[in-house]
Amino acid sequence: MKLKFIKIWEKLKGLFKQGLTPKQLALSLVVSALISIFPIFGIATLVLTAIAIPLKLNLPIMIVLSYVIEPLKLLLIIPFINIGSSVFGIEHTLLTYEAIQASYDASFWVTIKELSFELLCGFVGWALTAIPSGVVLYFVIKEILTFFKKYKAKSLKQST
């Protein structure tokens, strides 16, 4: 049984080691974080796969990070909606369960229309805050990873 777990662990380690240049790893981490906090639920894995394959990024790391960061979406969705609604200069109406239930009881289609606008506000808030933050985060992570790669190479060189 222990041998089976060791074989599985070795296969997983191989997946995580693919494409680990500092640039690719930093891009994998930042793209995964940005898509994970996107204010629409249920699309992260599909979008990450669609982005990772053509860009040759590390998909296993991206998906694991996505699942770790996913709860952060719950904390950020309301601030994203607030930012978007302030950009559009409107008041949001359906941010409580009671408001959604009352709207749904009145008209299903009006509720869908209003919730769609809330999601549009959330998308605008995400685009205005997360994307610029992601660009800065990419360069910071890339520099940190490059430093550690050089440091590791230097220490390996000194030990031989």
Q: State the Cα–Cα distance between residues 117 and 90, nearest whole angstrom.
A: 11
Burial label for 97, CB within 10 Å (0-12, 13-18, 19+), is exposed
Range of the domain at 38: 2-159
Alpha helices, H only, 18-107: 22-36, 44-55, 59-88, 97-106
57, two tokens: 């990024």
For 40, phi and psi rounded to 5 degrees? -125, 130
Residues above pLDDT 70, as percent of the chain? 81
- What confidence score (pLDDT) does residue 156 get? 64
The answer for 19, left when phi > 0, alpha when psi is -120 to 50, beta otherwise, is left
104-140: per-residue pLDDT in tens? Answer: 677 777 777 777 888 888 899 999 999 999 999 999 9
Q: Are 76 and 42 in contact (CB under 8 A)?
A: no
Q: State the Cα–Cα distance between residues 112 and 118, nearest whole angstrom.
A: 10
Q: State the Cα–Cα distance between residues 14 and 92, nearest whole angstrom.
A: 47
35-68: per-residue pLDDT in tens? Answer: 999 988 888 889 999 999 898 888 888 998 999 9
**Domain tally for the chain?**
1
